[in-house]
A and B are shown apart, each in its own frame.
Chain A
Amino acid sequence: MSPQTDSESFVLLRLAERRFAVAAGDIAELVAPSRIFRFPHHTKEIEGVILRRGRIVPVCDVAARLIGKSLLSRRFYLIAQRRYTNGTEWIALPVTGDCELIFAEMIPASEADLPHVLGWLSHDGDVIEVLNLNALTPGPSPAILPAPAQALHAQEALS
């Protein structure tokens, strides 16, 4: 039996010196930074939008919330799927370093954890937060949205 039988896949992303994880099923692709189009709005977490594969994708800098400061430089945009009550949309997360696909077991978050923490995993001696993008990125009503893992389990139950 493979030692990874009970593991799930995650993408590790880097924000300055820290690493975070996102469920791999929520990631669409990793792209080089492209032109950001800005227009007036009042959603402070959103920097602007990029054009990607024919779609207009909002760019959301989550660093301020996760590491306490905005990114001065960025190496890639990690394009993830963000769930809303009426579907999913792409959202681009600026990251400062390479991303890595890993397999690990996630320990679910406890009630004491912040809403954007979906769980924890251990990798290379580090304990890494698994992010709940529904809670981390802006949207109409994040509280009522299912966390990615819950949605995944619900899908599995239906299939």
Chain B
Amino acid sequence: MRLPTPTKSQPVRTEQIILFRVSGQLFAVSSASVKEVRSVDTLAGAAKEIAQAGLRKVRHIVQRGEHSLYVVNGAMHFGLPAFAPALVFVLRHTRTALLVDGIEKMTTMTRLQALPQAFCNDERDWYRGVTAIDQTVVPVVKPEGFLTPDELFLLDSSLQPKASDSAALDSAACDSAASQAAGGPPSVFEGGGLESTSTTNFPCEPASLKATSDAPVDSEAGTAPLGFKGADFAPTDTTNSPSIPQ
């Protein structure tokens, strides 16, 4: 009797993410979307204040070579209470530098669930989806969602023509030459500001996970939806997380 040839199981696709906090709230971003992580102190000399009345979340601009980055206050963007940011993420393929409290940890997600369709406002532009990490649901931010095309237009219009720059930042990706050419201090992950870690180089855009609307997320053992056959009082934890003002 011949045993069937064992089929090779498909490797689990994963995506490396950075868990970070803004005003205490936990978010995730694909590490491939983050070009640099800097201490806010290292930006202090390079940032120029801008007064854009219609966009309170952007107060500073950083000139990087011939490109400009808008510094977005994460708390104002998400409508969270004000906080004192410690780090700034320079987001790849955007003109956004995002102010955050700090990094919680770097980890890996195996599944990304599309944002439920019940969420039907701005948040659809903010998040790629949601994932579950250690039994906690974390929204995964969309790097391009921090500044809409309209907001970029508004910001560009408010700048003098010389400083205005509508070209997309860092299409060359992955090289940090621009920052070094601009004379900026090394990024956090490049050894400046904070203790460097082994994660010196962020991967150059590995394939991202696609958000799925019904993908199970690492949590309870999944089973098919139940028809109503009477109440199903499955044991669940009853602790409530502190509420976040919406």
Contact = CB atoms under 8 A, between A and B. Distances in A.
B20 to A, nearest CB: 13
Contact of A24 (B80, B223, B228, B236): B228
A33 B238 contact: yes
Q: Kindly name the residue among B25, B135, B234 whose own CB sees the greatest number of chain A CB atoms within 10 A.
A: B234
Interface string A51-67: 11111111010000000
A54 B118 contact: no
Contacts of B220: 51-54
B196 interface: no
8 contacts: A31-B232, A33-B236, A39-B27, A40-B244, A41-B126, A42-B246, A54-B220, A82-B118
Interface residues of A, number: 47
B102 interface: no
Secondary structure at chain B's binding surface: helix, strand, loop or mixed? loop
Contact of B235 (A32, A45, A53, A84): A32
Contacts of A33: 236, 238
A91 interface: yes
A30 B123 CA distance: 28
A35 B241 CA distance: 7
Interface of A: 11, 24, 27-46, 49, 51-58, 60, 76, 81-82, 84, 87, 89-91, 98-99, 101, 137-140
B3 interface: no
B241 A38 contact: yes
A154 B116 CA distance: 25
B78 interface: yes
Given A46-B119, A140-B117, A34 B236 contact: yes
B222 A27 contact: no
Contacts of A57: 116
Interface of B: 25-27, 78-80, 113, 116-123, 126, 130, 132, 135-139, 213-214, 216-223, 225-228, 230-241, 243-244, 246
Contact of A37 (B79, B137, B225, B227): B137
B94 to A, nearest CB: 19
B126 to A, nearest CB: 8
A21 B220 CA distance: 29
Contacts of A11: 228
A12 B244 CA distance: 31
Contacts of A84: 117
Nearest to A34: B236
A31 B234 contact: yes
Nearest to A76: B231
A87 B120 contact: no
Contacts of A90: 225
A84 B120 CA distance: 12
A55 B123 contact: no
Contacts of A49: 116, 130, 137
A75 B120 CA distance: 27
Contact of A56 (B130, B235, B237): B130
Contact of B237 (A35, A40, A58, A138): A35
